[in-house]
Chain A
Amino acid sequence: MREKFRLTEVWCKIALLFLFSAFYVLALPFPEKSRQFPQLLALVSFALTAIALVLDFTRRSAVQAEFSDVDNTELAVLDGATKRVRRKRYYRAWAIVIVSTGVGILGGFFFSALFLIGGFSVLFGNRENVKRNTLAGAAIMLGVYIVFGKLMGVPLLSGLLW
């Protein structure tokens, strides 16, 4: 049972159950015609998610029982190491996206783009590639400036600070 709660899919479905419940409850104060459709959808989606969750628990038990005598220790170690590396890269990527969005809100999208390019160069690139990444970053920024800033007239420097 504990193993099943480690699965992203299971947590995703539990989160969806809460989300659909929230859609149903939040619609209660709406006028009847406004709440009818979203509440109907929320109910059906809730029921489907609950069924999927129950199936997850019953089906996975059957599959695990089939493979219970297979020794996969080595594979599990390799899999774990790969997962850790990927997770680290994923967290970094998200950190860059969130920080750059924040910077964009403050100083304008130009700085957001700068943070995205710089962030990925520093946190994802190798030291040997500094020159290449800097050149690529400069080329992207130049392209952004010409296409969006000059041709499309997008205010790249419009933020909360100025």
Chain B
Amino acid sequence: MDVVLQAIGFVFQWQTLAALAAGTVYGIIIGLLPGLGPSAGMALALPLVIKWDPAMALIFMGSLYKCSTYGGSITAILVNTPGDASNAATVLDGHPMCQQGRGGVALGLSATSAMVGGTIGMICLIFAAPMLAEFALKFGPAEYFLTAMLALSIISAVVQGATIKGLIAAGLGLLLSTVGFDVITGHLRYTFDWTPLEDGVPLIQALVGLFAVTQALVLAESAASISRLARLAGGFWEGVAIYFRHPVVFLRAAAIGLFVGVLPAVGQSSAGLLAWADAKRSSKHPEKFGDGSPEGVLASETATSACMPGDLVCTIALGIPGSLGAAIFLGVMIVFGVAPGPLAFTEKADVIYSLFVALILTSFVIFVIGMTVARRLAVITLLPNDIIVPLILVISLLGSFAIRNEMSDVIISVVFGALGYVMLKGGFTPIPLLLGLVLGEMVETNYHRALLISGGSYTIFHASVISQVLIALTVLSLAGPYLGSYWRTLTQGEK
């Protein structure tokens, strides 16, 4: 209880509130820009906050991650373009509402959904994560190794619907994590006598390259700006009133969002679509869905907002990211010295609980911003690509440079940008690669530790019940995509 009170005190300091507000506004802006999801947003911001206090930096990143989803709903409603795949279901009813002259109502609904869905999700996260973390105390090196394998296999399997390609990318990420000093013997590996690589591939520079630089290059390929804004009419507060007239719909949607969020690697896009489908099925007027139904907007947005805290449950307690954004957030946590897992709740309790309190507060800040300046922020989508692209490149590469004031870091980011671009063009997604890079050291260390304990016998990897369950889940996650259409419906569509 003391920790929670301390966390509340920390969050309400003006510096923390400023970081929270900055993360919220920045996240909404990132969310507004189709093509720039939470992954690229966090990659861009990471070098800027690297010298901050870990708790404050994680609050900034957490707010950014949470708000980028909401930002995407604004463009989904106003310009028929979801900022992120998680807002795909909002387009179905949000934009028709806008075309009918009820865009303000739709924006009011999405802002209220972000507040209510986010708050419900965060309250559940605060209770669920420590329980899960306590269970994780039973884990030994073999279980940790298998947990990381499970995370990699799940992300590889669902991230693009091509398991083998995902596994190849994860393998490449794990291999790249072996560059530099070997944690076991201290031997230098794959550095080619280049000093900047001696401590391994720098995570932030790689992240900046894989997401920000790659995304800038993808945007550079097409001319013109991202969108044209639609006419906005209708009252924001009418949307709020409509929202609270449907308590059953938003509670069901929040439950669906939470459940989907807790499932490892099943994305927010699925949460929105499943909640939309559920609301349609249980509605008295299903025929109105897809034609501007407020229930459709509130169900999809509430589920998406409740999903993000669900994502974080496994990410923080077990180190298994619940989604692509959570995978990046996992990397961010490690960069700031907050290793996910049960010990995080004892050794870094102040940071973790400050993050939780701040994320609850963020839900309300989103609501305030959504009800006041959301429309004005949407103007950013009118910026032409020949301005957005150099802006992204300058900020990301300069951020990479600013970490150690070394141009070698810029070179590393550019090389990873090229790698990310080639991977995208070659039909691979860089997310499993990044996860491999993030988890690589943990995987290798626990692999060697487990073998040391067992005297070199591989039986240790299936000796305990937890290990057997983890192996079964890994096999299931790899075989899942071949099980049929239900799996595809559940897992498809992350950006």
Contact = CB atoms under 8 A, between A and B. Distances in A.
B338 to A, nearest CB: 23
Contact of B394 (A38, A44, A144): A144
Contact of B393 (A86, A116, A129): A116
A92 B389 CA distance: 12
A61 interface: no
B187 A9 contact: no
Nearest to B394: A113
Contacts of A49: 168
Contacts of B428: 12
B376 interface: no
Contacts, number: 155
B490 interface: no
Given A13-B426, A37-B447, A154-B401, A44 B171 contact: yes
Given A116-B390, A154-B405, A158-B405, A48 B168 contact: yes
A116 B418 CA distance: 16
A81 interface: no
Contacts of A31: 185, 187
B407 A124 contact: no
Interface stretch (B63-71, B174-182, B241-249, B328-336): B174-182
Nearest to A13: B426
B312 interface: no
B414 A154 contact: no
Contact of B448 (A33, A55, A92, A144): A33
B190 A26 contact: yes
A55 B393 CA distance: 37
The size class of the interface chain A forms with chain B is 35 or more
A154 B164 contact: no
B174 A41 contact: yes
Interface stretch (A16-24, A62-70, A71-79): A16-24
Contacts of B423: 12
A97 B402 CA distance: 18
Given A8-B426, A38-B175, A89-B222, 17 more contacts: A9-B426, A12-B425, A30-B182, A37-B448, A45-B168, A45-B175, A51-B164, A52-B165, A55-B164, A94-B418, A105-B407, A109-B401, A109-B410, A120-B387, A140-B391, A144-B394, A152-B402
Interface of B: 48, 51, 164-165, 167-168, 171-172, 174-175, 178, 182, 184-185, 187, 189-190, 213, 216-217, 220-223, 384-387, 389-391, 393-395, 397-398, 401-402, 405, 407, 410-411, 414, 417-418, 422-423, 425-428, 444, 447-448
24 contacts: A9-B426, A12-B427, A12-B428, A16-B168, A16-B172, A20-B172, A30-B182, A33-B448, A37-B444, A38-B190, A41-B171, A41-B174, A41-B178, A45-B168, A45-B172, A89-B223, A97-B217, A97-B414, A109-B397, A109-B398, A109-B407, A116-B394, A121-B386, A154-B398
